[in-house]
Amino acid sequence: MLNLLIIGFIASALAPFIYKRTKNYFGWIAASFPLYMFISFFLKYNEIVSGNVIKEATNWIPSLGINFTFLLDGLSLTFVLIITLIGTAVFLYAGSYMKDYEQTGRFYLYIGVFMTSMMGLVLSDNMITLFVFWELTSISSYLLIGFNHHKESSRKSALQALLVTGGGGLALMAGLILLAQVSGSFEISALYDMHSTIVGSNLYPAIVIFVLLGAFTKSAQFPFHFWLPNAMEAPTPVSAYLHSATMVKAGIYLMARFNHAIGGTVIWQDTILVAGTITMFIAALLAFKQTDLKKLLAYSTLSVLGTLTMLLGIGSNLAIKAFFIFLVAHSLYKGTLFLVAGTLDHETGTRDVSILGGLRKFLPVTMIAALLASFSMMGIIPLVGFIGKETVYSSILEVENFRFFLLALAVISNAFVVMVTILVGIKPFFGNLLPTPKSPHEAPLKMLIGPLVLSVFGLLSGMFPNVFIQKLLDQTTISIIAEELGITVKLWHGFNFVLLLSFVTLALGISIYYFRKQIIQELDNISLTKFIKPSYWYERILNGTLSFAKLQTKVLQNGYLRYYIIFIILTTLGLAGYTLFRSPGIGSLVINLDITIYELIIALMIIASTILVITSDSRLKAIVALGVVGFAMGIIFILYSAPDLALTTFAIETLTVILFVLVLYKLPKYLKFSKPVVKIRDAIIAGSVGIFMTMIVLLVTAGEMQSELKKYFADASLPEGKGRNIVNVILVDFRAIDTLGEIAVLAVAAIGVYALLKLRLKEGDK
């Protein structure tokens, strides 16, 4: 599985290069990549449905228990198949849809990275690996939402999505680390036997809160739902893929995956149930007023995500079954409808449902896909959505408390979803032909195959549930609640109360659709206060942080280099000085005056040049004097037999002087000197730093240095590092990762210096 993921990342990285050469048929090439993944995993289907679980492990940081461990069971296989199947449709579709965009190659890079990370997310057994992939999906989603980066609304929405899901990601990481501390392992599969330990721990409520924060933000549950409708700024293939079928289900996946390790308690089930129900209901209501195809679909997606969360919250066997069927059904029909919405947008030039109509003659094939998906979404027999809705209702009927309240909410929400479906999937094709910005015509082949295949899958899995759904359902429920259900999926349950509910939903939905205009007029008179909108609070927090940052920058970084240095020095002095003052050895420091004549001479040289630096009236003189201080220090290093350090110091000092001279060349002569007050202030600061450093050195050298490390490095340098120069062996071998970090920082600093210099040059232009 690791190999497949590596292939995925490499293929994504190559996408822009291949795209350049094969623009016209790149859609087909791109689609072959998810298709290959789909087939690779589908070949494991028989093994998984027969009850096996495939595990794979590659070491990463074994000493910390962080490894690339992957697990393929019913739940992850379901997700992987959804991801790759819809991926195939979307990649092919985008080949045509994205043709007129700039940087389409980059688009494929992002979406390929996303798909691979999403697969990694659902396959990971190690929590840290899962987290890494989790964040990768957030980042690729950010890049994709902001793909039209020249539009401000795109950038804003992208940032919003990243901040919300990224913030949740941090909470998730905290939750996962706590979980690992309680259970002693980062492997999710190892948690299954530890349910009582985890639930009994003091940290359990914190774990639940953090993990759920991660899940709720990712899956856009109330009150974090607002980023998802805004994410519709992304190109439509992205909305179809990330923001309906896959990424937003990552939170749902997380809850399902952890359900049997940390679930089953009141706090877990009730939180999920309440959040899910609220999201389901509110999102359905919010969908009502929308007129944009994609926004309508986004709100209905939210409602479905709420429903899925609610089902996990109910947690009964039947609810898990409903969860699975609804998940599969939704991915199929919503993916299709988004692609259809994209096609309508592409072929007619508008996404406004109020001016779309009568297109059946122009887009017959798209219409077939749209109708199949719509019927599934509305829950009409014999599509898979029908089974989904039936099982949702019957699982709610099993709930003990508030059963009819929940049922009423679910029926109303679904009625609104029915209304959305009519608006999006049916209305554009029937009625009178309305004029559109572009003259409509059927979409190209690449944009037809995806929606058609997905919608036909929806039909087939509705008609033959035992072929398409049953086996994987059994295995998935084992993953979620650790027992087999023994419930069979059937299309037709006979005439019963649940079927009646389905009819009520449809009837209610259709009547809402017919009275929609009147109700909207009524609604316009009522205005809600902005304080109840979570997005209002998001804006407040974001703006507050920004203005705080501005204020802080004004005070701390006012553009005068001397203040920067003063702040840095004073902070260090304050923090380290405090610690130093409280250390026990501070009272008994003795100054050892047993020094050689060379040392004395060098010390005098340093002091003399320092005085010259301070008093000099020319910059050049000061710098040369500073150079003398540096070289004298280098000589001290030699006296104490640290040739490496001395060598580096000499080189650095030389270059520093050169740099200074180059800078000086451009500076004016000293124009004004500091005022006496300022001089005294600077003298006090400089003096305290000197005293502080002296104290530290004295304190450090006072005690006998008991370092195991020194001996270890001295002994290990030659046999293990193959070098006699311990310093260098430490730098490039034992502690090479530190060096790697340092050189990366250096590189960034160089870019920063360059940017600063060039910026100044530009200002000089004006």
Partner 1 sequence: MYSIILSTASRYLLPLMLIFSFFLLLRGHNEPGGGFVGGLVAAAAYALYLIANGVEEAKKLLKAEPIKLIAIGLLLAIVSAFISVINGQNFMTGVWANNELPVIGKVGTPLLFDLGVYFLVLGIVTKIIFSLAEEDK
Interacting residue ranges for partner 1, rule: CB under 8 A: 59, 643-644, 646-648, 651-652, 654-655, 658-659, 662-663, 666, 720-725, 727-729, 731-733, 736-737, 739-740, 743-744, 746-747, 749-751, 753-754, 757-758, 761, 764
User: Buried (b) or exposed (e) across 234-269, using 16+ Cβ within 10 A?
Assistant: bbbbbbbbbbbbbbbbbbbbbbbbbbbbbbeeeebb
Q: Which is nearer to partner 1, 474 or 653 (CB)?
A: 653
Task: Name the token pair of 59.
Answer: 């070491």
Are 328 and 82 in contact by the 8 Å Cβ rule? The answer is: yes
Count the neighbouring beta carbons within 10 Å of the beta carbon of residue 41.
Answer: 22
Eight-class DSSP state of 148: S
Contact of 114 with 87, CB cutoff 8 Å: no
Contact, 60 vs 68, CB < 8 A? yes
Q: How far apart are CA 262 and CA 265, in angstroms?
A: 8
Beta strands 54-61 and 66-72 are antiparallel
> Which among 451, 264, 193 is positioned nearest to 343, based on CA atoms?
451
d(CA 749, CA 743): 9
Task: Respond yes or no on whether the N-terminal peptide bond of residue 223 is cis (omega within 30° of 0).
Answer: yes
Hey, is 258 helix, strand or coil?
helix
How far is residue 594's CA from residue 606's CA, in Å, rounded to a whole number? 19
User: Which of 289, 373, 374, 385 is closest to 328 using CA atoms?
Assistant: 385
Q: Are 380 and 372 in contact (CB under 8 A)?
A: no
Q: What is the dihedral of CA 490, 496, 500, 506, to 10 degrees?
A: 10
Amino acid at 261: A
Q: What is the DSSP string of 283-332?
A: HHHHHTT--BHHHHHHHHHHHHHHHHHHHHHH--HHHHHHHHHHHHHHHH
State the nearest-atom distance from the C-beta of 558 to partner 1, in Å. Answer: 24
The number of beta carbons lying within 10 Å of the beta carbon of residue 519 is 12
**470 alpha carbon, distance to own chain's centre:** 33
- Identity of the residue, 666 or 672, whose beta carbon is nearer to partner 1 in the bound complex: 666
Find residue 68's DSSP bridge partners: 58
- For the chain, the C-alpha Rg in angstroms (whole number) is 33
Q: At what angle do helices 104-123 and 26-42 cross, to 10 degrees?
A: 10
Q: Which one, of 332, 280, 560, 548, lies nearest residue 453 by Cα?
A: 332
> Which residues are CB-contacts of 352 (< 8 A; sequence separation ≥ 6)?
291, 292, 293
Token pair belonging to 15: 């996408």
Q: Work out the burial of residue 32: count CB atoms within 10 Å of its CB; fewer than 13 is exposed, 13-18 middle, 19 or more buried.
A: middle
Length, in residues, of the chain: 766
